[in-house]
């Protein structure tokens, strides 16, 4: 099994299990995951958690973890949007959306929470959409001050 297939399986299974156990109130898990991923990335010398910045987080997700070709983050009218070019996570996202299971644990959610933490904001995941033609996922979050 390729590592991308394994990652898709694990994201699907973890999110489905969390939904079955906790239900729709499982969003806190994403924020906690963001803390732990910083600790892990720091232990692997991918980021310096004491001097965390947006570029180092982006580089870790793209170059070290190889989760996509590019991450484009923008904010407008109280929303944060993350466009993910050529994402590794496609199948799991599509299946979870099809089954109407909220995505709680996923690298893109953790990435946005990290960026918003650096910017001293909070974000709440709203939706993810997949554009098959462009092979992009677009993750939308509500920003709270």
- Which pLDDT tens digit goes with each residue over 80-134? 999 999 999 899 999 999 999 988 889 998 899 899 989 999 999 999 999 999 9
Boundaries of domain holding 9: 3-144
**How many structural domains compose the chain?**
1
What are the angstrom distances between the C-alpha of 120 and each of 15, 19, 52?
Answer: 27, 28, 13
How does pLDDT run across 19-48, given as a tens digit for each residue? 998 887 777 787 788 889 889 999 999 999
Q: What is the pLDDT of residue 136?
A: 95
CATH number at residue 91: 3.30.1380.20
How far apart, in whole angstroms, are the C-alpha atoms of residue 142 and residue 126?
7
Across the chain, mean pLDDT equals 91
């Amino acid at each position: 099994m390729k590592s991308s297939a394994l990652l898709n399986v694990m994201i699907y299974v973890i999110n489905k299990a969390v939904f079955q156990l906790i239900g729709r109130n499982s969003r806190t898990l994403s924020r906690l995951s963001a803390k732990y991923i910083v600790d892990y990335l720091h232990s692997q010398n991918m980021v310096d958690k004491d001097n965390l910045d947006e570029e180092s987080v982006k580089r870790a997700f793209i170059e070290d973890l190889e989760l996509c070709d590019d991450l484009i983050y923008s904010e407008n009218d109280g929303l944060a949007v993350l466009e993910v070019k050529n994402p590794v996570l496609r199948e799991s996202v599509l299946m979870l959306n099809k089954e109407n299971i909220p995505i709680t644990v996923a690298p893109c959610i953790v990435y946005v929470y990290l960026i918003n933490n650096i910017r001293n904001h909070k974000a709440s995941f709203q939706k993810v959409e997949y554009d098959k033609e462009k092979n992009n996922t677009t993750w939308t979050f509500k920003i709270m001050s």
